[in-house]
Structure 1
Amino acid sequence: MAAHRKPKQSPLGGQAARTAATLALASAATATVFEGSGHAAPRPTPAQVKAEVDRLYEEAEVATEKYNGAKEQADRAWAAFDRLRDESARRTDRLNRSRESLGAFAAAQYRSGGLDPAIRLALTSDPDQYLERAALAEKAGDRQAAAVASVRRELTAVRQLRGEAEGRLRELRTHEAELRRQKATVQGKLTAARTLLARLTAEERARYEAAVAAGAHDAAGAPDPSGTADRADRDSLPRGPITAPTTRAAEAIAYARAQLGKPYVWGATGPSAFDCSGLTQASWRAAGVSLPRTTYTQINAGRRVSRSELAPGDLVFFYSGISHVGLYIGGGQMIHAPRPGAPVRIAPIDEMPFAGATRVG
């Protein structure tokens, strides 16, 4: 028979053993980092960082529009739930009043000893009094029947409303779960972008910011000390009033122009900050036109127009997923809220892959 040995006890026990194990793992991890530093991946260039940041921001904007859609649905579900809850409260109040009325009849019958009205009437010696009481009893019977019917109706309505409210509440919880999921996605993408940008040196970050400000596509290029590109960009901006095909289009553009320089904040609809669809929605709302909240619903909010038909006030959409929108102002340019760190600005529509356009108002 094999000998059974008692397991050897560690000289460290309990918390001491766990602390020693943690220190050992940390030491091993540190050693691995330093030993492997000679084989670490090469540091990305500013151009590579910009390309990855651009990708993360685009994915964040896709998630932002999904968040906006889920929030819009959640807001509608909340409104419907509140209406059902209010109506249920009103119906419950009417039900209680009907029950009180029915209870009054029951109490009166109890006080009368529960004697059948026909028997009580038959016992009277005064025919006129008999007929008067008969008429009153008939009316009382009608009122009692009406009270019973009212209780039944209100009870049925309250049960139905409560069932609908429970369904809306389940729908609301589904939308709120989607909200949390999309919010986490957006925040994760933005955090990853900020982490990448933090790896740039001060000089590289300055070049990156200059490239973003100028709408350039190559952050690795040398800075332009002459400011020629910046002056050309400013010179291309429309001067004075923009000729729009309709009064409402002109009002939408005027509102958008007044927001130039305000920050991009995902999920924002103004007045101090905007995301892309929040800006277009607010601009057209100022012109008296109600647009849906998201890019993928705004594109269906009017008549589709081709790129060659574009007129000031049209909504212009970008990327295959219809994840970005701007307000066209003519001359191949738009006003849009680009992304975090880039405020509301005028930019050429060629700076992103064009996906379509819609005319509203």
Structure 2
Amino acid sequence: MSGRMLRLVGAATVAAQAALVPVSATAVPPPPQPGQPSVATLLTDLQRLYRQAERATETYNATAEQLKKQRAESDRLRADLARARLALRGSRAAAGQLARQQYQSSSGLSPYLRLLLARDPQHALEEGHVIGQLARERAGTVSRLAGSEKKADDLAREARKALDTRLALARRQQQARDDVRGRLHEVERLLASLSAAQLAALAEFEKNGIAEAQKRFLASGTLSAGTPPTQEGDRAVRYAVRQLGKPYQWGAEGPAAYDCSGLTAQAWRHAGTPIPRTSQEQWARLPHVPLNRLRPGDLVVYFPEATHVALYLGDGMVVQAPRPGAKVKVSPIAANPVLGAVRPDPGGEPLRRYTPPKLPAGALDGPDAGLYAAGAPVTSAR
């Protein structure tokens, strides 16, 4: 994202900390000035843009993964085609040599006449056997030539098709990149239009709204008392905690920056269990787990479209890369509307003894909402 947007988001955080506009703890926004939109309206508009940007980011990430696989397939086909063409050249050379040998050894007589005219019929019969063997070898060479030609033609068609698919994916990736940038430019324009007082009120209103959502979520009894992670889950949690403070960057998979699913995917890759790259694929392909059975290392997925994801830390908290302008941080689980949870290691055995990683100072600082909309309901998981 641009440095201008980072400065704007940073200004919002500083303004909120300075408490230029006092807001009650019940998340009730102050009345708007005449002719100005309310804080709730501004928050709704801002988070709508963030949500659109993250949807576009997930599309970009998914296309990037498809393109990566298609590149590998194109490279494989290109290597196979090169080998097939080498084999074809060898088959053609062998066929040409056989043709020259047949022309040079041809006497114009049939094998039957050569046998009748031979001085030594037994030798002629043995010679005929050798000739038959050579004929069979020639037939095999011709057959291999035909097979090599067909294989080379088939591989050439597959390679052209794979290249066309690769080019189409590259165009789609470019379109998704432009879409993300366009959405983030809209966020920049909205933030740039706000005063310091509006930015402070916006940040404080969002913060109070998250606190209320977390309070309701915990009071619902949805979460369990806590289950220790598996050894792999522990490694994933500790990896994610080591990334605290690194910036959010859409499409990033580390190590310098992350987007939401880039963080969760890398955490589990370092734990030894590769998982899909995008939050939507993580939600679609990993086993679902009820929230009352959550354990550290599980992934908490947000919004009906599964466009945001975080890694469960325990005690109702998650590690996440929230949104553009924010950093990887520890947040309340209800910072965004929860869709459900998935488990990358469903067959793993929980540790008998578990000591959570120590959080560094400032782990909870900064905005929590990835795409939180004021007043949005927190759904329970299946």
> Normalising to structure 2: TM-score of the pair?
0.71
Letter in 2 for 1:160: D
Say if 2:173 is the partner of 1:189: no
Choose which of 275, 287, 296 in structure 2 pairs with 1:303: 287
Q: Which residue of 2 aligns with 1:71?
A: 64
* Alignment partner, residue 20 of structure 1: none
Query: For 1:178-233, what per-residue CA distance to the aligned partner results, in whole angstroms no more than 9, with x for missing partners?
Result: 2122111111000111122122345655665x649x94549xxxxxxxxxxxxxxx
Q: Is the 8 A contact 1:67 1:179 kept in 2?
A: yes
- Residue 75 to residue 115, structure 1, CA distance change in 2 (3 Å): farther
Quote the Cα distance in structure 2 between the aligned partners of 1:261 and 1:157.
54
SS of 2:261's equivalent?
A: helix
Taking the aligned partners of 1:178 and 1:331, their CA distance within structure 2 comes to 41
Q: Report whether the alignment pairs 1:323 with 2:307.
A: yes
Structure ID, larger Rg:
1
Secondary structure of residue in 1 paired with 2:295: coil
Aligned CA distance change for structure 1 residues 114 and 247 (closer, same or farther; 3 Å): farther
Aligned mates of 2:133, 2:152 — CA distance in 1: 28
Q: Which amino acid aligns with 1:176?
A: A
Q: CA deviation at 1:82?
A: 1.5
Equivalent position of 1:246 in the other structure: 230
Q: Secondary structure of 2:341's match?
A: strand
Aligned residues: 296
Measured against aligned partners, the alpha-carbon deviations of 1:101-138 in whole angstroms (never above 9, x if no partner) come to 01101122233357456266665544455344323322
The reply to whether residue 142 of structure 1 matches residue 105 of structure 2 is no
How far off its partner does 1:244 sit?
Answer: 3.2
1-structure distance, mates of 2:117, 2:93: 31
Percent identity for Structure 1 against Structure 2: 37
2:251 to 255, 261, 267: 267
For 1:357, the equivalent position in structure 2 comes to 341
Relative to structure 1, is the Cα distance of residues 335 and 215 closer, same or farther in structure 2, using a 3 angstrom cutoff? farther
Q: Deviations over 1:23-48 (max 9, x none)?
A: xxxxxxxxxxxxxxxxxx94556664
How far apart in 2 are the matches of 1:260 and 1:116? 89
Change (3 A) 1:266 1:122: farther
- C-alpha separation in 2, matches of 1:304 and 1:273: 28
> In 2 relative to 1, CA 357–120 (structure 1 residues): closer, same or farther, beyond 3 Å?
same
> CA 1:131/1:310 → structure 2, altered by over 3 Å: closer, same or farther?
same
Provide the C-alpha distance between the structure 1 equivalents of 2:204 and 2:97, rounded to a whole number of angstroms.
Answer: 82
Q: Which of the residues 304, 314, 319 maps onto 2:298?
A: 314
Q: What residue identity is the alignment partner of 1:197?
A: L
Instruction: Kindly indicate whether residue 36 of structure 2 is the aligned counterpart of residue 52 of structure 1.
Output: no
Structure 1 range deviating more: 45-54 or 97-106:
45-54
> Quick check: 1:86 aligned with 2:79?
yes
Evaluate the alpha carbon distance shift between residue 117 and residue 143 of structure 1 in structure 2; reply closer, same or farther with a 3 A threshold. farther
8 Å Cα contact 2:52/2:183 also seen in 1: yes
The 5 A counterparts of 1:275-290 are 275-290=259-274
> Secondary structure of 1:299's partner?
helix
Q: What is the distance in 2 between the residues matched to 1:143 and 1:69?
A: 52
Give 1:158's aligned residue.
Answer: 152
Name 2:277's counterpart in structure 1: 293
**Contact 1:56 1:189 (8 Å CA) reproduced:** yes
Contact 2:115 2:121 in 1 (8 A): no
- Aligned partner of residue 72 in structure 2, secondary structure: helix
Moved more, 142-151 or 75-84: 75-84
**SS across alignment from 1:157:** helix
* Relative contact order higher in (CA < 8 Å, ≥ 6 apart): 2
Match of 1:98 in 2: 91
**What letter matches 2:141 in structure 1?**
A
**Distance in 2 between the 1:42 and 1:113 partners?**
104
| Separation in structure 1 between the aligned mates of residue 109 and residue 152 of structure 2, nearest angstrom | 34
What corresponds to 2:170 in structure 1?
A: 176
Gaps of 5+ in 1: 1-40, 219-241
What SS is found at the alignment partner of 1:326? strand
Compute the displacement of 1:49 (Å): 3.8
Indicate whether 1:336 and 2:336 are aligned.
no
Measured against aligned partners, the alpha-carbon deviations of 1:234-261 in whole angstroms (never above 9, x if no partner) come to xxxxxxxx97321111000000000001
Shift of the alpha carbon at 1:339?
0.9
Q: Deviations over 1:59-98 (max 9, x none)?
A: 1001111111111112112211211121111111111111
8 Å contact 1:63–1:185 — kept in the other structure? yes
Structure 2 spans left out of the alignment, 5+ residues: 1-33, 211-225, 346-382
138 and 348 in structure 1: CA distance in 2 versus 1, 3 angstrom threshold: same
Secondary structure of the 1:317 match is: strand
Counterparts of 1:180 and 1:328, CA distance in 2 = 33
Compute the RMSD of aligned alpha carbons: 2.6
Question: Could you tell me whether the CA contact under 8 Å between 1:314 and 1:360 is conserved in 2?
Answer: yes
